[in-house]
Amino acid sequence: MTSVLVVDDSAFMRKMISEMLDNQPDIYVIDKARNGKDAVEKVKQLNPDVITMDVEMPVMSGIEALKEIMAENPKPVIMISSVTKEGADTTIKAMEYGAFDFISKPSGSISLDIHKVEKELIDKVRLASSVKVTKLTHSPAGKTAPDHLDPSIKTPKEGLKSGVSAMVVIGTSTGGPKALQKVLPQLPETFPHPVLVVQHMPEGFTKSLSERLDALSKIKVKEAENGEIIKKGVAYIAPGGYHLKVRRIGTSVAIHLDQSTSVNGHRPSVDVMFTSLSAVKLDKVIAVLMTGMGQDGKNGLLHLKKSVKTAAIAESESTAVVFGMPKAAIETNLVDEVKDIDAIAASLLKHS
C-alpha cells in the first residue's frame, strides 16, 4: 500500500484529491495538510511514501516546503499546479529542486473539474512510489543561472544559420526537465547542430521550461514556433499540445507544428518527431532517449535507423528517474551508447 500526504490550502481540493486516491485499492491518504509548514511537520511525523503538493499556498508555499522536504527527508513530491505563467515558472523551478513530477489543474486554483486529471494523478502516484528518491535529490549540474538573461547575447551567428545537414533530437518525459538541465547547459556556444526536444508536458508549461533552460545554457533555447527555419546552435522545445515535425523548404529545414491525434497518449510525441526526420534528407541524426515512462520514441528510432545515418544514445538505468523510454529503445538493439545523464553532452559532442 502506498501512503500519500495531500497538501492543499483549499478544503475542497484536499477532499477531492483524497477521495480519488482513497478509492484505489493500493493507495491510502495518510493525512492532509493545509499549507507548506504543516506539510513539512507531517512528513517528519508520518513518513508518507508520496506527497501531492499544491504550488500556491499561504504561510509557506509549495516550493518552499518542497525545498525543506528534499533537504531534510526526501520524498517523491507531485506538484499540483495552475496553468498561469507564474504557476508554470514555479513548477519548472520545482522540478529543479527535486519534485518527481507535476499535474496541471484543469481550471483555476480551486478546480471544480479536478476529476478530469484523476487517471493522471493515480498513475503518477503509483509511479512515484517506485522511484529511488536519490535520483531526485542530486543538485542541478553546471552554473547557477541568472533569473533573466538578455536574449540578444545568444543570437546565433549568421554563418551558422543555413545548410542544416545534421540534427540532434531528444525525447524525454517524467524526470525530463531536470535531465535536460544536465545536458543542454553542457553544450558549448559553438555547438554545430540544431537540437529538437520533445518533453511530454501540457500546454502552458513548455515556454517556462524553454526560458529556464535558455537562462542556464550557452546555446539559445526557445519554444518552437510553427514555420520557423531551424538554425544551428539553437535548441527548440516542442510546445505542449502540439506535435513537432520538420519539413524541407529549399535548402533549409523548417519546423511544422500541428495538433493531429495524440500518439502513445502524447502530443507532442517523440515517435512523431523522430519519424518526420526520416523524410528530410539529412546526412546524420543523433537521437537521444532519456528518462520517461512508456515506450515513446522506440518506433521512431526504428524509422530513423532505416532511413538516415543515426547515432542513438539512451540514458542509463542508474540515472534515469524512470527507465521506461530508454529501456524500450535499448531493447531494439539499435542504441549505440548507454550513458549516465552527466555524460550525454560529451557523447553529443563526440558524434558531432
**Annotated catalytic sites, by residue?**
173, 200, 296
Q: Is residue 46 within 8 Å of 3, Cβ to Cβ? A: yes
**Distance separating alpha carbons of residues 348 and 241, to the nearest angstrom:** 28
Non-local CB neighbours of 44 within 8 Å, separated by 6+ positions? 72, 73
Alpha helical stretches, state H, 217-322 = 270-278, 298-307
**Distance separating alpha carbons of residues 62 and 177, to the nearest angstrom:** 18
The residue whose grid cell reads 484543469 is: 106
Q: Is residue 140 within 8 Å of 182, Cβ to Cβ? A: yes
**Distance separating alpha carbons of residues 231 and 252, to the nearest angstrom:** 9
Among 68, 121, 132, smallest CA distance to 97 is for 68
Non-local CB neighbours of 15 within 8 Å, separated by 6+ positions? none
Give the CA radius of gyration of the chain.
20
Q: Is residue 235 within 8 Å of 213, Cβ to Cβ? A: yes
Kind and range of the H or E element at 90? helix 85-96
**Distance separating alpha carbons of residues 53 and 70, to the nearest angstrom:** 13
Q: Is 197 helix (H, G, I), strand (E, B) or coil?
A: strand
Among 100, 125, 104, smallest CA distance to 114 is for 104
